[in-house]
Structure 1
Amino acid sequence: MSWLVVFYFILGLYVLYILSLTLGLSKLKSTDLKLQNQLKTKFSVVIPMRNEAENLPALFQSISELSYPKNLFEIILVDDDSQDASWKFAREFQARYRDIKICLLSISEEKYTPKKNAICTAIRKSSFSYILTTDADVILPENWLKSLDAKLQSTGADIIAGGVVVTKKSSFLSHYQHFDMLSLQLFGLGSFAQKYPVVCNGANLCFRKSAYLEADVNRGKENIASGDDVFTLQKFKQLGFKIDFLTDSQSVVWTQALESFEGLWQQRRRWASKTASVESWYLKSVGILVTLMQLTLILSLILWFWESAFFGFLINAFLLKFFVDGWSLTRMVKIQNLGFCWTDFLKVSLVYPFFTLFFSLTSFFGKFEWKGRRFQK
């Protein structure tokens, strides 16, 4: 029975943390800003790409539909030795939209891991004072740049993190990724609301170029294949730069779900490669708490075969966690005017502990593959 006490203690800690995180969202200042008549911020939009031919048409279409003066932004596409038709599509995009300043580059840096090299190459060639990074597999909202301009004019922030949502398709795997990304975004928004920002997403991240160069965010992180976004946020915070989060619905970027379990697992292994280098005990503590919560659910399912009391804990814990997590996510999606389906969330919740625990326990060892390359942790 002593294990039941431990399990209920972990459940209590988890529920209290989620409740405090969610209630803290009320501290966020409304960012559903009226788009200002005087647009003035100039953006260099940096997009690294490697073997993204399948996703580029949708990205390019969304870029062409951005409602922002063409003289106030540039697109910098950095090719990382693509083996498919990515470069061909990029050239066609450049030729078709001559009213948009589109710069095509190949990686010239060799100091860092590939994505860091791509970002550094683009920043060195950029013309404008604000850098805006995103990915090649996203769809950008029409008023994306207008929202960022309004936020920058009203706050003068040095770095602004924005929301990223995984598109939910028919496959169960896409549903898992959709809700998992919403959970990460809840954690991100909650940390910003508590004035302790620790995570952001490089698919929607804007920062002042001069501050980035001053921060030298890659120092000591040269060989880490992931975490460019978190390391940037971490360094800006250390140096006292002004940090903000863009919450309005017009700024959310939509990204594609990975189609295979193997691909998802490799992505999680890549993300885990940065964990040891993230200088935040708060972030690591939350990661441990979430992992322990999933572990207690699975262990209670196993121990139920020997002790019926664990069945009661399993039912109570699952239902309490389901409703608390669901309530917290509905509060978060309401802020960004996103939809939420309780039925889909229930389906994902039934397997979420198994998926998440598997990724957590297997992501810290050995090598991983990403975009056709192998990396050492």
Structure 2
Amino acid sequence: MESDLLILIVVGVLSALYLFMILFFLIFWLKQKRFQPSTKTAKEVSVTIVVPVRNEEKGIKECIESLFNQTYPKYLYEVIVVDDYSTDDTRKIMREMDIPALRLFDLQQYLGNRGEKKPNKKEAISIGIKNAQGDLIITTDGDCLRSENWLHTMVDYFVNNNYKLITAPVVIKPAFTPLQILQQADVMTLMGITAATITAGKPTMCSGANLMYAKETFLELEGFKGNHDVPSGDDIFLMQKVHEKYADGIGFVKHFDAAVFTLPEKGLFKFLGQRIRWVSKSVGYANWWVKLQLLFAYLFNVLVIAAVAYSITKFIYTQEKFALLPGAIALGSKLFADLIFCIPVFHFFKKIWLALLLPFIEVLHIFYISFIGIISLSGRYRWRGRKVS
């Protein structure tokens, strides 16, 4: 009986801590006001959009067309695409696009054959920035689309707030299958946490699919120096560097016009590979707050599974209703905490109906997070046709 009480106390304390963590996110999500872009940018600023690509033949044309279909003055921006050893028709499609402000660079000309079998996103971005003519840099992915007001909104926010680095929403669409719905809800929640932690002055994450910073800042901080041994993380590690040098220099654009849209991963294995790639960045985190937050979030998901399994097993053998308490407290706390955070976040993304599916999404989320934490220990995954370890 003493052991049962101890288990109940441990579950109760950890559940309370999880609830406080989510309340922290909620408070700072709500604290940040929606950005209201001006009708005209305060001053003219030149921009270079850097797009590192590998095997993006299916979406690269639409991506580039959306980049040049912007309300921002055409003479103020250019697009640099850096190809990372694509084995499909990505380069061919790019060369056939007759757009003066579109510049294509081939990574193989810089790295030779030595870069063929390893991820080179940091090198691709660095080469793009080295050749950039703009004062501001925006990185995005070759499978992303955006509204015509995207660039104006990003520049307006950056210029009017004197930030060193800003990030903005990434949205998964469309979403019809259970796996697609899980991805959409998961990424929206991550965007909410991104905005909340940045507003709190404790930036945890950002996405290189929608990231802006001054070229001068990138060069001042020596780019990705010190993080080249980690295959991914071009976004997070740069954000960490900026935060260390400029504590108040990071912002999140809370406006839907600043969002970029990307397709969900097709198939379970591609989805898991993407998530393992995301988790692999954590080995390079220098901030103890970020590490502690990620570790606790993972362990709490494992705790929920363990508590529910313990309660069900205990109830089957004893038929005592008290046995169900640990599982009910852990699962109930997670459902309640996530619901009160997700409702305003989903509302911002115009997907409030997803809150009705949250119990279903939560079950999938708990198991996939726990599973990803285990298989990511190997550090191996496949991405864009490459084996990464």
TM-score when normalising by structure 1: 0.92
1:134-160 CA deviation, whole Å, 9 max, x = no partner? 001111121111101211231121211
Alignment of 1:141-180 (within 5 A): 141-180=147-186
**Counterpart in the other structure of 2:102:** 102
Is structure 2 residue 84 aligned with structure 1 residue 80? yes
Q: Which amino acid aligns with 2:16?
A: G
Structure 1 residues 64, 240: CA separation in 2 closer, same or farther (over 3 Å shift)? closer
Aligned length: 372
CA–CA distance in structure 2, aligned partners of residues 31 and 188 of structure 1: 16
Distance in 2 between the 1:335 and 1:32 partners? 14
Partner Cα distance (2:200, 2:91) in 1: 43
Residue 109 of structure 1, CA deviation:
4.3
Q: Of 246, 263, 271, which residue of structure 2 is paired with 1:264?
A: 271
How far is 1:326 from its partner?
A: 2.1
CA contact (8 A) 1:247 1:336 kept: no
Amino acid at match of 2:375: T
Structure exhibiting the larger radius of gyration computed from Cα positions: 2
User: Matched residue of 1:196: which SS?
Assistant: coil
Distance in structure 2 (CA, Å) of the matches to 1:33 and 1:327:
28
- Structure-2 separation of matches of 1:307 and 1:125: 64
**Does 2:228 match 1:215?**
no
> Quick one: distance in 1 between partners of 2:77 and 2:200?
32
Alignment of 1:126 with 2:132, yes or no, is yes
Contact 1:248 1:336 survives alignment (8 Å): no
In the other structure, the counterpart of 1:301 is 308
* Structure 2 residue identity aligned to 1:171: T
Q: Aligned partners of 1:281, 1:245: CA distance in 2, in Å? A: 22
Q: Structure 1 residues 340, 289: closer, same or farther in 2, change over 3 A?
A: farther
CA distance in 2 between counterparts of 1:145 and 1:34 reads: 13
Q: 1:340 to 1:286 in 2, by over 3 A?
A: farther
Question: What displacement does 1:338 show?
Answer: 5.3
Q: Write the letter of the residue equivalent to 1:66.
A: Q
* 1:217 to partner: Cα distance: 3.2
Q: Which moved more, 1:192-201 or 1:29-38?
A: 29-38
Partner of 1:54: 58
User: 1: CA distance between counterparts of 2:41 and 2:129?
Assistant: 28
Residue 298 of structure 1, CA deviation: 0.9
Cα distance per residue 1:293-314 (max 9 Å; x no partner) = 2112211232134312443333
State the 1:4 CA deviation. 2.2
The Cα offsets for residues 303-342 of structure 1, whole Å up to 9 and x where unpaired, read as 1343124433333433332232122122234445554422
* Residue 275 (structure 1) aligned to one of 271, 282, 287: 282
Q: Residues 347-366 of structure 1: matches in 2 within 5 Å?
A: 347-366=360-379
The residue number in structure 1 matching 2:318 is none
CA-CA distance at 1:364 after TM superposition: 2.1
Query: Who is 2:259 aligned against?
Result: 252
> How far 1:345 sits from its partner (Å)?
2.5
Q: Which amino acid aligns with 2:104?
A: L
Deviation of 1:244 after TM superposition, in Å, equals 1.5
> 3-state DSSP class of the match of 2:273?
helix
Q: CA deviation at 1:47?
A: 0.6
How far apart are 1:366 and its partner, in Å? 4.3
**Most deviating of 336-345 and 79-88:** 336-345
CA RMSD in angstroms, aligned pairs only: 2.0
Match of 1:289 among 258, 275, 296: 296
TM-superposed CA distance for 1:352, in Å, is: 1.2
Aligned residue type for 2:130: R
User: 1:304 aligns to what SS in structure 2?
Assistant: helix
Q: Which amino acid aligns with 1:269?
A: I
Quote how far apart the aligned CAs of 1:224 are.
Answer: 1.0
2:315 aligned with 1:320, yes or no? no
342-351 or 76-85: bigger deviation: 342-351
Matched residue, 1:200: 206
Deviation per residue, 1:212-251 (Å, 9 max, x gap): 0110132221121111101111111112272221111110
1:17-58 Cα deviation digits (max 9, x unpaired): 101220122332441223326551211001111111112233
SS at match of 2:228: coil
Offset, 1:119: 0.4
Unaligned runs of 5+ in 2: 316-321
TM-score normalised to structure 2 length:
0.90
- What fraction of aligned residue pairs are identical, expressed as a percent? 25
Q: Conserved in 2, the CA contact under 8 Å of 1:32 and 1:249?
A: no
Query: What is aligned with 2:319?
Result: none
Contact 1:272 1:364 in 2 (8 A): no
Query: Which of 235-244 and 186-195 deviates more?
Result: 235-244
Inter-CA distance 270–37: structure 2 relative to 1 (3 Å threshold) = closer
Where 2:163 maps in the other structure, the secondary structure is: coil
Structure 1 residues 362 and 258: alpha-carbon distance in aligned structure 2, compared to 1, 3 A threshold: same
